[in-house]
A and B are shown apart, each in its own frame.
Chain A
Amino acid sequence: GDSVTQMEGPVTLSEEAFLTINCTYTATGYPSLFWYVQYPGEGLQLLLKATKADDKGSNKGFEATYRKETTSFHLEKGSVQVSDSAVYFCALSNAGAGSYQLTFGKGTKLSVIP
């Protein structure tokens, strides 16, 4: 079945550091890929998405590129802020394969210190 693997956390960075959170996936066909973010005490929010190969999703300074050749969707940000401290989830949706649910990775906790 479909699966998502993302780097183990927690990740601790200083403010203005560069962020990369790795995500790879296993799926049949052409899934859509997502990054969700969960701030403390809240539900998950969609951060960005990409629906086909070579698409780049971007939002709030975060970017991720859908790489079919490496089955990856790594999240990057050039300069993190304290307010970016949260848990980040990589996910895929394989509606083309008849699955209407999201498959999530286990999440990566990011802490940004001043």
Chain B
Amino acid sequence: DAGVIQSPRHEVTEMGQEVTLRCKPISGHNSLFWYRQTMMRGLELLIYFNNNVPIDDSGMPEDRFSAKMPNASFSTLKIQPSEPRDSAVYFCASSSRGAGGLSYNEQFFGPGTRLTVL
């Protein structure tokens, strides 16, 4: 299994530019999560999807952030326009709820995208 795949691994952009982060969850997983990690705020959940449907986006910081999951194998997180305070590591994670009788939500994380906005 390839695990959760994220691209790009590093992104450097200038303030005001659009940034798109991509995630491919583990095949068969039906829940997908986007997190942001910074030194100041730690690990924050931005949004999560269940069966491609956004369930809770209360962690999305503002309207500049949007996330989509057009199918079970792909999700994007878009920032438009980007600002220096968006600089962080963005993680995607996936889990399989209910598979094999599991009642807990073990999440598998991707390697992250390190975003730097100048």
Instruction: Give me the interface of A with B, judged by CB distance under 8 Å.
Output: 32, 34, 36, 42-46, 49, 51, 89, 93, 95-96, 100-102, 104, 106-107
Residue of A nearest to B4 (CB): A43
Extra pairs beyond A36-B109, A44-B107 (15, CB < 8 Å): A34-B106, A42-B112, A43-B91, A43-B93, A43-B110, A44-B93, A44-B109, A46-B108, A95-B97, A95-B103, A95-B105, A100-B97, A101-B105, A102-B45, A104-B42
- The residues in B between 73 and 118 inclusive whose CB is less than 8 angstroms from any CB of A are 91, 93, 97, 103-112
Say what secondary structure dominates the interface of chain B. Answer: strand
Whether B105 and A43, one on each chain, are in contact in the complex, defined by CB atoms closer than 8 angstroms, is: no
Nearest opposing residue in chain B for A96, CB measure? B103
B26 → A minimal CB distance (Å) = 13
* Number of chain B residues whose Cβ lies closer than 8 Å to a Cβ of chain A: 23
The answer to whether A43 and B45 touch across the interface, beta carbons within 8 angstroms, is: no
B residues neighboring A (CB under 8 Å)? 4, 31, 33, 42-43, 45, 48, 50, 55-56, 91, 93, 97, 103-112
